[in-house]
Amino acid sequence: MTFLLPITGSFAQPAAENPTVAMIEAAFAHHGLDWRYLNVEVAPADLGDAVRGARAMGWRGFNCSIPHKVAVIDHLDGLGQSAQIIGAVNTIVRDGDRLIGENTDGRGFVAALRRVVDPQGKAVVLFGAGGAARAVAVEMALAGAARITIVNRSAARGQAVADLLNSRTEAQAYYRPWTPRFAVAQDTDIVIHATSVGLFPDVDAMPDLDTDSLTPAMVVADGIHNPPHTRLLQAAQARGCRTVDGLAMLVQQGVIGIKYWTGVDVDPQVMRKALNDLGL
Ligand code: NDP
C-alpha cells in the first residue's frame, strides 16, 4: 500500500469550465488506476513557476490549454514530431528527468476520424487556421491526406497554414479565401470545420458554407464539442454525409494523453459517458 499517488493535471486560464478532469478521472477509476488529475488555474506570468513546481513534485505529466500552448515550450526539454511542426504543445510527458511536449489536438481528431474513414490519399477541405485547425491540418498531412485546401477568413493565417504543410509535410496544400456561401468541390472526401463558429453559447451560428455542395460520399467533421450536435453536422446528416463530432476528438485526446502518462489504453466510451453525464 502506498499513499503517494502519481499526479497529472492541467494548467490553463480560465480553467473552471474545462471538463477534461471529469473524463480523465472517470477513465482512471474505470481502469483501476489510482492516479490523480488536478485542474489548475495558472496565469501566464506564473507558468514557469507552475512547470517548475510540477517538476519538483514529480508530476507524471500534464495538459496545457489556452493561453499556455506556445509559451510552455520555453520550459520543456524537447518536443515530439508533430508538436515541433505545429509549434504548440497541449500534453507534457515525463521521460525520466525530461519534460517532453506533445500535441494531441490534431491526433485526437485523426483518431476520431479514423473510426469512420482513413485519411490516407484523401482530398480534404479544412475551414479555419487557428490553433486547432493548424494541429488538425498537420496531423491529417502526417496521416497521409493527399490534398488539403485551407479555407479561412483571415488570408494571412490561412496562407501560413498552407505554407507550413507544403514546407514540412508531403501533402499538397492550398489556401482559398472564405467567400460567402463557400461551395465545397465535388471531388472532396473529407470536410473539416475547425473554427469557433457554433461554440456555446452561439449555438445557432453556422459556418457560412453551401450545404447543398455536401454529398453523401463526403465525411463531415466538426471540432466544436459544445454542443456536439452542431447545426453543421445536422445539415450534413440531412444531406446523407457520415459525420464525426468534436466530443469524439476531445475524448480521443484524453485516450492518447492517458496512454502517454500511464501506458494504459483506456475505453473511450467511459470518457464519453462521463462528459454526457455532465450534459455535454
Ligand atoms: P483560435 O482562436 O486559434 O482560432 C479561431 C479560428 O476561428 C480562426 O480560424 C478564426 O478565423 C475562426 N473564426 C472565428 N470567428 C469566426 C467567424 N465569425 N467567421 C469565420 N471564422 C471565424 O481558436 P482554436 O483554433 O484554438 O479553437 C477553434 C475551435 O476549436 C474552438 O471552438 C475550440 O473549442 C475548438 N477545439 C476543439 C477541440 C476538441 O477537442 N474538440 C480541441 C481544440 C479546440 P480568423 O483566422 O479569420 O480569425
Best residue for ligand 1 mutational test, from 65, 153, 247, 280 (most atoms within 8 Å of Cβ): 153
* For range 21-33, the mean pLDDT: 97
In the prediction, which pLDDT does 57 show? 96
In the prediction, which pLDDT does 106 show? 94
User: CATH assignment of 7-103+248-277?
Assistant: 3.40.50.10860
- Residue 157: CB within 6 Å of ligand 1? yes
Please name the amino acid found at residue 242: R
What's the whole-model pTM score?
A: 0.94
Unique residue bearing C-alpha cell 455536401: 214
CA-to-CA distance for 40 and 47, rounded, in angstroms? 11
Nearest residue (CA) to ligand 1, atom 48: 154
Ligand 1 centroid from CA 127, angstroms: 9
- Residue 250: CB within 6 Å of ligand 1? yes
190, 221 Cβ separation under 8 angstroms: yes
Best residue for ligand 1 mutational test, from 65, 70, 105, 195 (most atoms within 8 Å of Cβ): 195
CA-to-CA distance for 245 and 243, rounded, in angstroms? 7
What are the grid coordinates assigned to 82, written together? 508533430
184, 214 Cβ separation under 8 angstroms: yes
Answer yes or no: same fold for 7-103+248-277 and 107-244. Answer: yes
Nearest residue (CA) to ligand 1, atom 23: 130
Per-domain residue ranges of the chain: 7-103+248-277, 107-244
For residue 280, pLDDT over 90 is answered with no
Minimal CA–CA distance to 223: which of 112, 96, 138? 112
- Residue 129: CB within 6 Å of ligand 1? yes
In the prediction, which pLDDT does 254 show? 97
What's the fold here for domain 107-244?
Rossmann fold (3.40.50)
The mean predicted confidence, pLDDT, of the chain is 96
Read off the pLDDT band of 1 (50, 70, 90): confident
Ligand 1 centroid from CA 140, angstroms: 17
For residue 165, pLDDT over 90 is answered with yes
Minimal CA–CA distance to 205: which of 112, 140, 121, 127? 127
* For range 155-179, the mean pLDDT: 97
In the prediction, which pLDDT does 200 show? 87
Query: What ipTM does the predicted assembly reach?
Result: 0.97
> What phi, psi does 271 have (nearest 5°)?
-70, -40
For residue 17, pLDDT over 90 is answered with no
Q: From the CA of 226, give the closest atom in ligand 1.
A: 34
pLDDT digits (tens, 9 = 90+) for 182-212: 999 999 999 999 999 999 889 999 999 999 9
DSSP code of 88?
-
- Residue 194: CB within 6 Å of ligand 1? yes
| Residues classed as catalytic | 69
**Interior CA angle at 255 toward 266 and 22, to 5°?**
90
pLDDT digits (tens, 9 = 90+) for 111-162: 999 999 999 999 999 999 999 999 999 999 999 999 999 999 999 999 999 9
In the prediction, which pLDDT does 212 show? 98
